[in-house]
Copies of this chain bind each other. A is one copy, B any other.
Amino acid sequence: MTDALDPRELTTYFALMESVGVLEHHVEQQLRAEGGISYVQFQLLARLADAAGPLTMTQLADGVVYSRSGLTYQAGLLEKAGLITRSPFAEDERTTLVTLTGKGAELVGRVLPGHIQVTRRLLFDPLSDDDIERLGDIMTRVRDHVRAQPPRSAAPRKRRGGSGSAAPVG
């Protein structure tokens, strides 16, 4: 449990977070303008498109939305907009299955090219093919690692840690 702050790690971390923050902001604007959806909504739709079949609410949420209620809220919006449908799952009646509609798939297809363009312009432009491959390799490993991490996203923690929490600023 070394506390020493490796400056190389710190630099890497801050560059990563700032870059992704700016990228995400630009991507949000593109999605909002061309598709009328937020980035979270895009992630949910894209995940369904990728799955090529229905997902349960929990599967859908994992790594995207971090509270059950937030997920229900987003699913409600997407359903109201006709982009997904929700239906019961006979084999486990607690579960809700989420299916991408044709309209939803169409929206993903319509929005993706511009999305890619923004990503190219901001993220890939200054990188070589080798950089991209290496970055993909690294981040795939990180993603698998964080996915394997104990605290499941949609399952809220119960415990309130022994040392208490600091007084909030807001």
Would you call A102 an interface residue if the criterion is a C-beta within 8 Å of the partner chain's C-beta atoms?
Answer: no
Which one of A53-61, A92-100, A118-126 is at the B interface? Answer: A118-126
Interface size on A, residues (CB 8 A): 77
Would you call A91 an interface residue if the criterion is a C-beta within 8 Å of the partner chain's C-beta atoms?
Answer: no
Whether B124 and A169, one on each chain, are in contact in the complex, defined by CB atoms closer than 8 angstroms, is no
**How many protomers of this protein does the assembly include?**
2
Contact indicator per residue, chain A 1-34, by CB within 8 Å of chain B (1) or not (0): 1010100111111111111111111000000111
Would you call A69 an interface residue if the criterion is a C-beta within 8 Å of the partner chain's C-beta atoms?
Answer: no
Whether A138 and B146, one on each chain, are in contact in the complex, defined by CB atoms closer than 8 angstroms, is no
**Residue of B whose beta carbon sits closest to that of A41:** B169
| Cα distance, A100 to B129, chains bound together (Å) | 42
A residues 131-168 touching B (CB-CB < 8 Å): 131-136, 138-147, 149, 153, 161, 165-168
| Cα distance, A118 to B130, chains bound together (Å) | 29
Query: Distance in Å from the Cβ of A160 to the closest Cβ of chain B?
Result: 9
Whether B18 and A166, one on each chain, are in contact in the complex, defined by CB atoms closer than 8 angstroms, is no
Whether A169 and B9, one on each chain, are in contact in the complex, defined by CB atoms closer than 8 angstroms, is no
Interface pairs (19), CB distance under 8 Å: A3-B113, A8-B136, A9-B119, A9-B120, A13-B119, A13-B123, A15-B140, A19-B146, A21-B63, A33-B166, A34-B166, A36-B169, A121-B149, A122-B146, A126-B141, A126-B145, A127-B141, A131-B138, A135-B138
